[in-house]
Each structure stands twice: as structure tokens, then as C-alpha cells.
Structure 1
Amino acid sequence: MAVRKLKSGKWAADVTVGVKWDGSRDRRVETYPTKGQARKAETRLLMEKERLRGRVTARITLAEFVDEVYWPQKAGLRANTRQGYERDLRRRILPALGNMELEQINKLNIQRMISGCPTRKTATNARETLSSVLGCAVEMGMIPVNPASFRYTYPGDGAADPERGGVWLTTFAEHMRLLGLLRETQPGSCVERICVIGLCEGLRKGEVLALRWEDVDLARRELTVRGTYTQGIGGAHETDPKNRNARRTIPLRAYAAERMAAWGPGEGPIVSGTGGGLLSPVTAGERMRRFTAGSYPDGEPLPRVTMASLRHSFATACVNEGMEVSKLSRIMGHADVKTTMRYYVRQKLGDLKAAVDAMDGARDKTDKSL
């Protein structure tokens, strides 16, 4: 059994699913124009083979399904995505549900698994991973619905830690205060470069690390995202952007262009590691933690920003400055503006007070003019 390319340029899925009534092999060969279509056909034929053996039914346990069906079908997952799925399965899902047959998994026992997670973030990740696994079972016709797609109650609902995942700087004034300190104390360092690109351009942390000098046009003040560098199974991996919307060309803000001109232009990665190569995501995170453990000259502790919260800080500050969300979403590489607003914009109480004060001030001016 295999997927192979034919001389015609098409792709064939070739699977022996069993034995015919006369004792000969029941070999199925299907041809498709693309390799992806042939792989899907191979998976379908392999499932047919397992059904004929009487092994893959709804009575298979979740752990068996993951090993025998799910992982073989998800061979093309990005390394960092697979690492996250494996972590969720090992720590949360399989200990709670692994010995249960697929048809026994319902909303009640999924809620118990979610309630046993220490934080909302870990619970959300576990549910999304489980939804991917059970969605595969639905596609195979093994269960009628995906119970992990239902609504659930998460740990910490209504009491989320506002600084979980790193502090969000919600105004450009906060951004410039931090960037000004870096310009004075660590000019050209990897931390300054990470913060400038993250706060001024809103790139994902993997996109920041994969950005090269040839991706930046200082004269036109444009930046093109062509790849990402993330931690996964076996270490860090450089891959294509997360999705087609992530491959994008965006404007380069004046401050970012000014600092990049001071750093270079050079060759290779803008945020470079030892020997001029790509900087490890682990090393980058550690250097950010060391920097944010310090303080401003007046003694005020530095905000504990992370590579992830820099992107969120960019989005929130842009909204506070009045940028149209559809334009912001395109800059950030999102397919849907709902993603931008739901996950990347978070207002502080001070921001809300400032907005109310501005509204009151506008009303007072109107009253005086009457």
C-alpha cells in the first residue's frame, strides 16, 4: 500500500483492503490529480481495510483510535502543532478518557476532564485537541457527532488572570516607553529587535524569528512575511507561514524602519543567533524574561511582556488609536476579523476610563455651545 506518482503526473492510492471470495487479493487503485487527494483516498481505503477486519468500530477505545487511526492520518501536521496535541493527549485527555470507547465519550465526561485542568488555557487546548481527534472519528463515520464541539464551562470563567500569557501594553505611549529604554540600553540587541518587530508590526513570535533582511524593503517601508520558526518535536523548525493569510506584505512603521536602518541592513535573519543563524525560540524567550526582570530608571518594574503578548499589545493599541478592524486583521494575517477582536484585543480599566472621560469632555463642549 502506498501513494505514488504516476508517469502521467497524477497520483495513485494503492491499497490491498482484503481478500475476495475467490481467494485473490482485493486491491484498490485510485488515481487523483494531486498528492493530497491521493493521501485522503489512501486513508479512506485503509479504514475500509480495518472495517473489513472488524477492528475499527465505535467500540475502539480513544487511546487505540489515536494510535491506529488519528496519528497516521495527521502525518502532515506542523511539528509545533503536533507537539501541542501530544502534550494535551498525554497530560489531560488520555488519562481521563483514553480507556473509554468512542461511543461512550459524551459531554458529561468531557466536562469532567475540562474541570480537572488547572487553568482555562490548558482546558481550552485540551478540548480543541480532543475535538480534532473526535472530528476525525466523525469523518470516518465511526460516531455520529463530535461531543467535544459542544459548549463547556472552563476553570476560572469570570476570574481570568489579566496578565496570564504576558502583560499587554495597550497604548503606543507604553510601547514607546519600553522601546526607548531598549534603544538607550540595548541598541541592536536581539531583545530590542524582537520588541520593535513585535510592537510595531504585530508579527507572530515565529514570524519575528524567521524574518530576514531580504524580506524588508526599507525604501518602500514594506515587510513581507514568508515563514515562521517555531519550537516543535525534535527542536525548532522553519516552515511556511501558518496559513495563506499569514503570507502577507504589510506596511513598515516609521519607527521600525528607523531602527532597522540603524541595525543594518545586513544579511540573513534580522534577529540572529550564534554564528548569524536563526535564534532558537527557547533562547529568545529566555532573553525576553531576563530583560523584563529589570526596571525603568525611575525604579518602576518593567512590564512582563512576552513574545506572544507583543503581538496582542500591537493589536490592542491599534484599536485604541482608531484603526479599522478589517485593516488590522489583514496586517495580522487573520482570515476573520472576529479572531482579531476576540483573541487579540484586551482593554485595561484605565483605557475604559479614558474613553469615558473623552466622551464626557465631548458632551461638555456640546452643552457649552448650546
Structure 2
Amino acid sequence: MAVRRLKNGKWVADVTVGRTWDGSRDRRVVTCETKAKAQKAERALLLEKDRRRGRLTGRITFREFVDEVYWPQKTGLRANTRQGYERDLRLRLIPAFGDMDVDSINRFAIQRMISACPTRKTATNARETLSSVLGLAVEMEMIPVNPAGFRYQYPDASNLPDDHDGVWLTTFDEHRPLLEYVAERYPGEPEERIVVLGLCEGLRKVEIMGLDWEDIDLDAAELTVRHSYGQGKGGAHLTEPKTPKAKRTIPVWAYALSRMKAWGPSSGPIVAGKDGGRMSPVTAGTRIRKMVARGSYADGEPLPGVTIKSMRHSFATACVNAGVEVTKLSAIMGHADIRTTERYYVRQKISDLRTAGDAIDSALMARIGI
């Protein structure tokens, strides 16, 4: 038997998967805490054995492939990336494809899954996760092509409510009241620091939470994004930035600089918890939601329903409306592709379009002499 129990109570999967370059047996032994885990390890090793013999097929269910092949091959994933994949698999992919053989998943089944998603973003994330899983099946020669790579019809983004990911404040004039509110009500507290770093610097949530005082040069008015601190399996983890371009040095704008000087300088994380350590991203999100739900301006108007995510989008849109050239904005945002900035991070409101219309009317009337 390839699975056996040791004297210490643990279980091992023991499979010879082939031969090494010198002709000796390539024997794999995996020690596990339980028999079930050892049996899963054995199946993964047998798949590897069949792949080497050129006999591997897609006659394995999607659920089994994910558990026994995919995850063991993806141990190096970033914590927040793994969390997103796990969410997509749990909520969308396993319910849709779990009991299907991998080689039975076709574009029609995938379109059905995409059409069942509530938003375009949900559908896009699910398809990208599926593409990662099936891409491994292609690499292992289990299936000839990756059907998740085809083109699909997505839920209409125009049907989404404007605030589905938080209210966007599209001009710096709209930013000012909120910045003044947090400076007065939460001076130096995590709420103000998060709002300033989101609205004034356009940082991602994970970048805000990963920022340390050592990353900020107040004299040069610069900050460097060196880390991300995002929620993943087992809690929050400090990792490298999302992409090479996400690791960047950007200016600290005048208002943000004045507030940072009021906060410090100090040492350790900019946004700290009660113990002085790095605040959990979950806690940070909760504090912002509570602030928004409970707060109102002096005239009684409720605070706009911003989120940490929508603050970054608000910064980008306000920059465009202020005339910042999009290639420079893309570098500030740390995007790997300028099209990401244009497509996902700029959203205009009708009031912004009316402002543009006023300029058009003035120019046109001057041209024709009205």
C-alpha cells in the first residue's frame, strides 16, 4: 500500500513517480497528520506519475483537481491573492463545476457561471481564477486548451448602483469637507490617517496598512511604497507590493505633508492599532464604515459613503478633473498598464460633465460671436 501508518501515529503517502536523470527511482514520501490527507497526497503523486507516462487525462473532477493538484502547486501565492482565489472557488466555481470532470468544462458552462454572477467585477474575478486553475491543467497536458481564455458576455456594468463599491468624490472641492472633518474630529487617529493617505495620495488599502514612518521622507516630501499588508489565510500578512510598478516613490502633496508633520514623525506603522502594532485591514475597514455611518457635517448633512477603496478611485478621478496627465497619474497610482487607470479608476458624474459642457459652450459661443 502506498499509504501507511507510522509508529508515531502519522500517515505517509509513498509513491515512485518515475526515474531521475541518473536512472534511479524517483520516490516521493509525504508525511501527513491524517489518513485522509495522506490519501490526497497519494492521488496527487499518482497524477504526477501518470503525467510523466503521458497518460494523464482530464478524468478528474474540478473539485478534486483543485484540492489535490492545484493548491499543492500554488504554495507561493501572495496571501491576499490566495484569499481572492479561495473566495471565487467557494462562492462561484465549486458550485458551478465541482462535480464536473476537468475536461468537460466548456465555454457554455463557463458562460452560464458568468451570467449568474451579480456584477461584472465578480464575474471577471471568477473567470480569472478559473483560468488560473485550468491553465495548470493545460500545463500538465490534461486538457488541450484553456476554455476560460475565450471571450464571454459579462453582466452589464451600467446596471450597477453608482455606490456599489463606495461613493466616489470626483473633485478636490468634494474632498476638502471630508478632510477638514477628520482633521477636526479624528486628529492623528487612524481614521484621519487612512482618509488622508487614500484621498490625497491615492494609496491602495493594503499599501496604507503596510506604510511605515521609515517609508516617508518629510524633508523631501516623498513616500515610498515598499510593502502591502493585506488579509489572507490565517490573518493579515506583510508582503511585497502587488506588481513591480506598485513599488514606487511618489510626492507627498502639500495638505498631506502638513498633516503628516502634525502626526509625527515617529516610527513603526503609520496606521497603528491599540498595541502600537500594525492595524488589521479588517479593523481599518470597520472603523471607516462606523465613522461614515455615524458622522455628519456641521450643517447636518451625512458624510458621503466613502470606503477605503473608493478613496483611491476618488483621488484618480479628481486628478483627471484637475488636469493631471493620465500617464503621470498611472505612475502615481502604481498601475502596470495605463489602460487600468483609464478604464477602472476614473468615473465622472453628471455635474463633472456639465462643467465640461460650460467650457464647450463658452468656446463655441466665442467662436461664432454670441
Task: Give the TM-score normalised by structure 2.
Answer: 0.86
Runs of 4+ in 1 over 4 A off after TM superposition: 45-48, 52-55
Contact 2:51-2:140 at 8 Å conserved across structures: no
Structure 2: runs of 5 or more not aligned: 1-14, 29-44
Deviation at 1:161, TM superposition (A): 1.5
Alpha-carbon distance between aligned partners in 2 of 1:55 and 1:165, rounded to the nearest angstrom: 47
Aligned ranges 1:119-138 → 2 under 5 Å: 119-138=119-138
User: Which letter maps to 1:213?
Assistant: W
- Percent of matched pairs sharing the same residue: 66
Note closer, same or farther for the CA distance 1:186–1:73 as it changes in structure 2 (3 Å cut). Answer: same
Partner of 1:246: 246
Alpha-carbon distance between aligned partners in 1 of 2:234 and 2:24, rounded to the nearest angstrom: 43
Question: How many residues are treated as equivalent by the alignment?
Answer: 338
Alpha-carbon distance between aligned partners in 2 of 1:51 and 1:213, rounded to the nearest angstrom: 51
Between 1:52-61 and 1:222-231, the stretch displaced more is: 52-61
Note closer, same or farther for the CA distance 1:150–1:185 as it changes in structure 2 (3 Å cut). Answer: same
Alpha-carbon distance between aligned partners in 1 of 2:302 and 2:256, rounded to the nearest angstrom: 25
Partner of 2:214: 214
Partner of 1:110: 110
Between 1:145-154 and 1:188-197, the stretch displaced more is: 145-154
Partner of 2:197: 197
Alpha-carbon distance between aligned partners in 2 of 1:313 and 1:233, rounded to the nearest angstrom: 29
User: Which letter maps to 1:344?
Assistant: Y
Alpha-carbon distance between aligned partners in 2 of 1:27 and 1:267, rounded to the nearest angstrom: 51
RMSD between superposed Cα atoms in Å = 2.4
Structure 1: runs of 5 or more not aligned: 1-14, 29-44
Aligned ranges 1:209-288 → 2 under 5 Å: 209-288=209-288
Note closer, same or farther for the CA distance 1:359–1:46 as it changes in structure 2 (3 Å cut). Answer: farther
Partner of 2:18: 18
User: Which letter maps to 2:92?
Assistant: R
Alpha-carbon distance between aligned partners in 1 of 2:255 and 2:74, rounded to the nearest angstrom: 42
Deviation at 1:88, TM superposition (A): 1.2
User: Which letter maps to 2:130?
Assistant: L
Q: Which deviations, in whole Å up to 9, do the C-alpha atoms of 1:117-137 show, x marking residues without a partner? A: 233332222111111111222
Alpha-carbon distance between aligned partners in 2 of 1:354 and 1:225, rounded to the nearest angstrom: 34
Contact 2:51-2:141 at 8 Å conserved across structures: no
Alpha-carbon distance between aligned partners in 1 of 2:238 and 2:302, rounded to the nearest angstrom: 34
Partner of 1:315: 316
Q: Which deviations, in whole Å up to 9, do the C-alpha atoms of 1:159-194 show, x marking residues without a partner? A: 121111111111011111110111122211111110
Deviation at 1:26, TM superposition (A): 5.2
Deviation at 1:27, TM superposition (A): 7.2
Deviation at 1:327, TM superposition (A): 0.7
Note closer, same or farther for the CA distance 1:24–1:265 as it changes in structure 2 (3 Å cut). Answer: closer
Q: Secondary structure at the match of 1:184?
A: helix
Deviation at 1:116, TM superposition (A): 2.2
Alpha-carbon distance between aligned partners in 2 of 1:338 and 1:19, rounded to the nearest angstrom: 48
Partner of 2:164: 164
Asked if 1:49 is matched to 2:76, the reply is no
Alpha-carbon distance between aligned partners in 2 of 1:280 and 1:89, rounded to the nearest angstrom: 24
